[in-house]
Amino acid sequence: MSIHTLQSHWLPACRKEELRRKPLAVTVLDQELVLFRTRSGVHALMDRCPHRNVPLSGGVVQGDRIMCPYHGWEFDGNGVCTRVPGLCSFKPGEHMNAAAVRVAEQDGFIWIKLPEETPAAEGESAPASLPFMKDPTLYSFVWKTAVRGTLLNAAENLLDATHTHYVHAGLIRTDKNRQRVKACITASGSGVEIEYSGESGQAGLISRIFERDRQTSYGRFLMPGVAQIEYRSSKGLTLLITALMKPTSADYQDIYAIVTVKRGLIPGSLKKLVITPFLKKALKQDIRIVEVQQAALERAGGEDFHSTQADLIRPYLEQLMRGRVYSSRVEKTVYLHV
């Protein structure tokens, strides 16, 4: 996986609600940043005062500026030093400025664009779109967790169907109750989608409780770190689970789990109350196996993977993580027993 590829994309920094009046320290790809909000909007700087390198996140916001907690230097949203207390005559200079980072607020999240030493040929001009977050017919709720593992391995785990009989035995699927399923794979642009048909419903507890007549399901990934699982019935959307991954480092991911259901007679808040314990248990099982995998890889000194045709999404994830952008639709059909 190329860190340079990830740097060419907008990456999530935090939820909108996480940034309040105080500056917020965040880490993205080992880069320590400070986010702060003023009347003019959200700003992001490297979390390092150029004077004595103290984290600016320990300071306070005053008007449209952030003040360093050590000597009181002040910086505007572009990182320009606007005040140095104690100087009789203040003359601004570039060496006194804090490094600024591009920032955007969209779909309930704050996104940042890290500077690149060599800009990639294919980059993003805007963050990934999460249209379901503002759809009035849908109800979404979010919780945050984390996993020690690469973004690639975490994404594969979330979108892989063949591990569910073992890691989630009885909760999602069971080994003794398999169905022949048609999987249609489509890769285009910076993403890949797998459409599953022929599975009337999973044998696990979650499907038996919350689904009736499944028609299709989808697993999809959009660069740089949006993994989705979607279930649909004859009446439309049943459940959409989105994992928005923030790479804190190459081997550690913060995950924003976004669960989306249709609004209807049953309030979304009640659906949240009922389904959350089951989904959190499944995610906890996934986190455990990915962290066991990561520990094994570290002991062995790296990956030595061997794949089969059942590993549907891995080849596409690897290509996307290397920076590939599919200029046209690439389609493939595979049959599995899941």
Task: Decide if 252 contacts 120 (C-beta within 8 A).
Answer: no
Same-domain pairing of 201 and 248: yes
Q: Which of 306, 324, 327 is nearest to 316 (CA)?
A: 324
pLDDT > 70 in the chain, percent: 97
123 occurs within a structural domain? no
Together in a domain, 199 and 300: yes
* pLDDT > 80? residue 71: yes
Q: Are residues 65 and 106 in the same domain?
A: yes
* Number of domains, the chain: 2
- The confidence score (pLDDT) of residue 125 equals 72
Name the 3-class secondary structure at 4. helix
pLDDT tens by residue, 138-179: 999 999 999 999 999 999 999 999 999 999 998 888 888 888
pTM of the model: 0.93
Q: Which two tokens stand for residue 115?
A: 């500077």
Sort 309 into a burial class: Cβ within 10 Å, 0-12 / 13-18 / 19+.
Answer: exposed
Q: Residue 212: pLDDT above 80?
A: no
- Single-letter code of the amino acid located at 81: C
Q: What domain range includes position 233?
A: 131-337
22 located within any domain = yes
Least confident range of 5-9, 23-27, 122-126, 292-296: 122-126
The reply to whether 84 falls in a domain is: yes
